[in-house]
Structure 1
Amino acid sequence: MSTLTALVFLLSSVPLGDAAADQTAPPPDAAATTGTAATDEPDRPDIFVTATRLALPLDKVAASITALDKAAIDRAQDIGVTELLLRTPGVSMSRNGGYGTSTSLRIRGAESDQTVVVIDGVKLNDPSSAGGGYNFANLLVGDASRIEILRGPQSILWGSQAIGGVVNVVTPLPTKAMEGSFDIEAGSRDTVSARAAIGGVSGPLRWRIGGQSFTTAGISAIAPAFGGREADGYHNRQLTGRAEIALAASLVADLRGYYSSGRNAFDAFSGDNPAYGTNREFVGYAGLRLDLLDGRFRNRIGYGYTDTDRDNFDPRLPRTRTFDSAGRNQRLEYQGSFAISDTWTAQFGVENERSRFRSVSPPSSLAVPIPPAVRGRAEISSVYGQLSAELLTGLTLTVGVRHDDHNRFGGQTLGSAGAVWALPTGTVLRANYGEGFKAPTLYQLFSEYGNQALNPERAHGWDAGVEQHFLDGRIRLGGAWFERTTRDQIIFNSCSATSSLPLCLQPGSTTIRRSGYYQNVARAKAHGIEAQASVEPVKGLILDGNYSWTVAEDRSPGANFGRWLPRRPRNQANASISYAWPFGLTTGAALRWSGHSFDNASNTQRLDGYTLVDLRAEVALHDNLRLFARVENLFDESYMTAYRYGSLGRSVYAGLRGRF
């Protein structure tokens, strides 16, 4: 802490000067409330984003990022965050059935557990899962007011796991004495979704609380072509809340919370069965924000806690519980931002994260005692800093460094650098380089398949792109090239019944065999192109689309060298059109196309490509009340994102949306 104290003293002692007298530092918070600010183009206000852990205009962010505001979220009408993310460049998904089943999201071909998920500034990855990643199955849109996707290695700011990118979900804070919203809809397969939120401002207090309930009879997780007949239902209840209270003119106390409870039926790979799982997630945050030097030096100290409990049950067995796990994560952090001048900003922080997990698979027979749960702990302490400077008008350079000290793997230092140049011609040039680091998960180290000799995964990547804005932003074109190399990637190796390898025996045993183990044997490379366009030719008409070409290959020595990494299509595209008619009706259509992929590392099991078409409409019944409806998968396309597992066919939904 002495290093941080010295840094604070040094920055505080920098002379203010006339240039910096009116300069304020951006809020150092991924959940900061953002808005718009005036620019040289009155019809195109700046878009602010916070996935960089500072509230910055989009034109000052070097990394590739997509930001979805509340209007875009409402226009899409999606229930789950996964469906929204799939409409953005470079994102692919695999799901073991319908809503609620295991859902893996991949950014630019990275592993699904190499994406950091953040809700109101708190990381939500599960320490008890095999890869330590997040299961997107239970993340509903809920009260989200902004969703951001930051692509490429982001470990400088977000630490371990941010090799593929970051998904940042932010819920709103109120601006009026009393305000609220609601959405309720129903449709195919007895699906019902109801969401409501209310909040207000009273003196020094700002607060908002929101909840959502979702239930569906579902489809068979196993595709009908493989004998799936029994519908696997799902329900989820979630609650979010935020509150701020001004303790003094420059001191604010901050509380945030998120809770989700879900139950989903699922099928074994072999076919229908009555098994089901429960999932409970809790996120809590308490912090203080202190602004000094008239906002030139901003500070935030916070404590974040995540708790994930997962259980599986099979009613046919004498002992019905078949799996029991829990993951806990405690995070203490300090983050600061300092306006060195009107064109130079420093961002810095210190973090300590402690994770633990517990996992056990009880035997089905009551005559066999339940074995002791496998347990593990890890601690990582980090310090990071990033400096941004606008050297020329519109040209912002950023350099950063991070040092992680893991209690098992020692120290690791990472670097990053980027540049963004917003030209008066409406051209924005971006280039960014970042490094990633991901320590082996507790499950990979300590479970019955664990290997305590594992090394951390490491990655480095870069991207460069250009955007062009015409007609005050009514036409926007953009494209980017990216590359990423990952080494020491951790994979699961299966053991044959006759294998003599020592790692095919349970740790500490010379006789008890196990079905497999984790090992650093895989390396991967990815590169590709992301292109996007948005056009508003006349008022009310919006056309947009994007295309992603992602080459993600296995580069480990052996028979699979050069083969596609599983479940990563090389070609994907999205397109949509929306028109607001003068009499209050808005209609639209969306198309999603995915090329083929492979389900296994040897590329022998092909997953065919598919095309999905959605229709949507909404009509204003009142200034604050709208009736909406949509048809998803209009042509009832049958497709798989994971072999043998089904997907939703044609679905029809309708509902009401209110804002007040």
Structure 2
Amino acid sequence: MALDEVVVSATGLPTPAKEIASSVTVVTAQEIEQQQRRTLPQALASVPGLNIVQIGGPGGQTSVFMRGTNSNHVKVLIDGIEVNDPSTPNRSFDFGQMLTGDIERIEVLRGPQSGLYGANALGGVISITTKRGEGPPKVTGSVEAGSYGTFNQTLSVSGGADRFDYAFGIAHFKADSTPVTPPNLVPPGRRINPNSYDNWSYSARLGFKLTDTISLNWVGRYSDGYLLSTGDSGFPSLPNAYRSAQDYKQAFTRGEILWDPLDGRFVNRLSVSYTNQDRSNRAPNAIGILGLPTNNLGERTKFDWRGDLKLTQGQTLVMGLQYENERLETASLTASNGNTGAFVELQSNWSDRFFTAANIRYDDDESFGGHTTYRFAPVYIVPGSETKLKASYGTGFKAPTLSERFSDSRPAFNFYGNPDLKPEESRGWDAGFEQPLLNGRVNFGATYFHNDIDNLILTNAARTSYTNIGRAKTSGVESFAALELTPQFKVRADYTFTLAKDETAHQELLRRPRHKASVTATWMPIDKLTLSATLIYLGERMDGNRDFSISRLRAPGAAIVNLAADYKLSDKLTLFGRVDNLFDKRYENPVGYLVPGLSAFGGLRFAL
């Protein structure tokens, strides 16, 4: 991350990156386009501190483990809308369902962040911002085809003037023959079916400036993903001969009134957001006919007010009030829960070399009562060397999910929810430095992090319910080096070491590799041509086998190389192509599911 970038997620205010102590990685629309990343998991794959686990290629359930914490310890926001899914057992967000066509930037904020963002932010926050319309009306789009029956299209219309801006987008992603089942798991004579995934996504963003002091903003998006994948059955379980069907519909919307009565000195935002995530699963019978669907519906409604008050030069107070209600509905259960929160943050610019951000938040949960969290993050720029010294300390919590508290799987599995569960809690700190050289053309740095997590919700010893018995400790180092040899040639390398341990069982946590590294190079040999190459290395890690009949085994590491090229045929037409997994590395992540092998894609992008 360059020191002159602007970061929003760390404090809620647009702030130069050099003034931010928290560890943040920014992924821009330009980088997504250059590397031709079509899905959110692809866009996040090289981010330090993250391990991306996708079950079975495009459309498969995708989890993100941040700094060794659990996959449900990451809070995900899209245009300020919390999209963690109340219908899943652990309230995690399925990253595999989101396409990247309308994404303007992604900010990955690491470390406990509940002092600003409330529950579910023990490991950190991923904040996604979509594109806003500006300038004269324009139409952009793309068509792409390639391996595994891939056929993708995008189309967007956008524009804006002083009083009104708009952006509408449609994206279609299709990959109908991705091989993901390891052949050695399938009995002789049984067919091996590829995965098939089809996703249609629609997005809209509108802005109205009614007066010089009052503006209205609205965002909405809807996606419908349909996946055919191979499930397991039997004892011991084996991959089925026929595919299961999963239909995942997501609807997210947020409306906002912005009132600025004092010419930027006191900006108020009043908003309401709503999410609806409907998952449907159908399993095949012995002759391949799909059965009746089982449905899980998760809803969240949220009201919030935020005020940004400039106290003096260099001192800004951010205040907020929020109320949210989440709801779960299945064939056998309907449950809901509400939470009221209030927070205050002071962002201070004490000099041109010393900056701090401090926040505190109180949440009053309808079921669990009050919970206080906080965060403090100072930065100092050393005169002469311009070394950035940074540190932060914060706390986080996550309330038990509605499923963990109330869902019963009886009598078939003799498993019951536990309404007496307590929230999970974390304490975390980090400290590091960033060093620019040669007028910013060289940057390098490292950050040490440490997290303690208590009251982890795990299955009890009798395997009949959940209980708060877990404790975990994660620590490690994130380091980077970025080099700009010329304005046309740039290289960045990241390395993360993570040690994540279950302090109760005294074992390494699953699916947390100790070593992860990435190298990305971008080169423009001529004005019309852009080339990029990315290497991602994932080290050995503990995992279970496909059906977890073997609960712990050592999964081997692997290195993947991806290449991409853009060539401007004209000002309005661009030819592009890419090769993923250049050396056809066949490995499993998670164990039991193959990562797609060597594949090639190409297409055209236009702007009118």
Within 2, Cα distance between the matches of 1:319 and 1:576?
44
Secondary structure of the structure 2 residue equivalent to 1:638: coil
Deviation at 1:517, TM superposition (A): 1.6
The structure carrying a bigger strand percent of its residues is 2
For residues 527 and 375 of structure 2, what CA distance do their matches in structure 1 show? 51
Of 547, 551, 571, which aligns to 2:515?
571
Residue of structure 2 equivalent to 1:236: 199
SS state at 2:508 partner: coil
Question: What's the CA shift for 1:634?
Answer: 0.9
**TM-superposed deviation, 1:627:** 1.1
Structure 2 distance, partners of 1:422, 1:187, is 48
Cα drift, residue 322 of structure 1: 4.6
Unmatched 5+ residue regions in structure 1? 1-42, 361-372, 496-514
Whether the 8 Å contact between 1:380 and 1:405 is mirrored in structure 2 is yes
Q: Deviations over 1:134-153 (max 9, x none)?
A: 01110111210111100011
Q: Take 1:614 and 1:66, find their aligned partners in 2: how far apart are those partners? A: 20
**Cross-structure match for 1:643:** 591
Q: CA deviation at 1:340?
A: 0.5
Of 430, 439, 456, the residue aligned with 2:399 is 439
Moved over 6 A (4+): none
Counterparts of 2:3 and 2:498, CA distance in 1:
31
Counterpart residue identity of residue 443, structure 2: R
C-alpha displacement of 1:395: 0.9
Q: Tell me the alpha carbon deviations over residues 3-37 of structure 1, each in whole angstroms, 9 at most, x when there is no partner.
A: xxxxxxxxxxxxxxxxxxxxxxxxxxxxxxxxxxx
Q: Cα deviations across residues 554-613 of structure 1 (Å, max 9, x unaligned)?
A: 001xxx31x110011010100122210125222222111111111149973121111111
Match of 1:427 among 371, 376, 387: 387
Q: State yes or no: 1:300 paired with 2:269.
A: yes
Offset of 1:226 from its aligned partner?
Answer: 1.3
Partner of 2:533: 589
Distance 2:591 2:38 in 1: 24
Quick check: 1:566–1:603 contact (8 Å CA) kept in 2? Answer: no
The verdict on how the C-alpha distance between 1:319 and 1:573 changes in structure 2, with shifts beyond 3 A counting, is closer
**Which of 236, 239, 242 is residue 271 of structure 1 equivalent to?**
239
Q: Find the partner of 1:614 among 562, 584, 600.
A: 562
Q: What is the rounded CA distance, in whole Å, between the counterparts of 1:267 and 1:178 in structure 2?
A: 45
Candidates 423, 429, 442, aligned match of 1:475: 442
Give the match for residue 524 of structure 1.
Answer: 472
Q: Determine helix, strand or coil for the equivalent of 1:413.
A: strand
Which residue of the other structure, out of 173, 181, 185, is the alignment partner of 1:214? 173
1:287: which partner in 2? Answer: 256
Write the letter of the residue equivalent to 1:67: V
Moved more, 645-654 or 423-432: 423-432
Cα offset, 1:394, TM superposition: 2.3
Aligned counterparts of 1:178 and 1:423: Cα–Cα separation in 2: 46
Q: In 2, Cα distance between the equivalents of 1:539 and 1:54?
A: 29
Residues 1:205 and 2:173 aligned together: no
Q: Does 1:118 align with 2:77?
A: yes
- 1:23-62 residue pairs with structure 2 within 5 A? 45-50=4-9, 52-62=11-21
**Structure 2 equivalent of residue 466 of structure 1:** 433
Greater shift, 462-471 or 418-427, is seen at 418-427
1:332-382 CA-to-partner distances (Å, cap 9, x unmatched) read: 00011111011111011000010110123xxxxxxxxxxxx2121110000
Q: Deviations over 1:291-325 (max 9, x none)?
A: 12221000000000000000101243788125211
For each residue in 1:246-272, what CA deviation from the matched residue of structure 2 results, as whole angstroms up to 9, or x when unmatched? 111010011110111101112223203
Question: Are the equivalent residues in 2 in contact too, given 1:99–1:218 (CA < 8 A)?
Answer: no
Give me the whole-angstrom Cα distance separating, in 2, the residues matched to 1:88 and 1:659. 29
Q: Is the 8 A contact 2:317 2:347 kept in 1?
A: yes
- Pick one of 361, 373, 394 that aligns with 1:402: 361
Identity within the alignment, %: 31
User: Residue 128 in 1 paired to residue 87 in 2?
Assistant: yes
Task: Tell me the SS of whatever aligns to 1:622.
Answer: coil
2: CA distance between counterparts of 1:629 and 1:414? 47
Give TM-score, length-normalised by structure 1. 0.86
- Contact kept, 8 Å, 1:375 with 1:446, in 2: the verdict is no
CA distance in 2, matches of 1:314, 1:88: 35
Q: Which of the residues 249, 271, 277 maps onto 2:212? A: 249
What aligned pairs does 1:334-349 form with structure 2 within 5 A after superposition? 334-349=305-320
Amino acid at match of 1:630: R
Q: How many residues align?
A: 583
Query: 1-side partners of 2:293 and 2:100: how far apart?
Result: 30
Quote the Cα distance in structure 2 between the aligned partners of 1:319 and 1:619: 45
Question: Is the 1:50–1:56 contact (alpha carbons within 8 Å) kept by the matching residues of 2?
Answer: no
- Amino acid across the alignment from 2:55: N
Aligned match for 1:147, one of 94, 97, 106: 106
**Letter of the aligned partner of 1:614 in structure 2?**
N
2:282 aligns with 313
Q: Which string of whole-angstrom CA distances, capped at 9 and with x for unpartnered residues, describes residues 382-415 of structure 1?
A: 0000111122222111211100000010001112
> 1 CA distance for matches of 2:99 and 2:16?
27
Alpha-carbon shift at residue 222 of structure 1 (Å): 2.6
In 1: Cα distance, 2:594 partner to 2:555 partner: 12
Q: 2:59 aligns to what? A: 100
Checking the alignment, whether the CA contact within 8 Å between 1:414 and 1:435 is kept in structure 2 is yes
Give, in whole Å, the separation in 2 of the partners of 1:201 and 1:578.
31
CA contact (8 A) 1:335 1:349 kept: yes
Whole-Å separation in 1 of the counterparts to 2:497 and 2:4: 31
Letter in 2 for 1:656: L
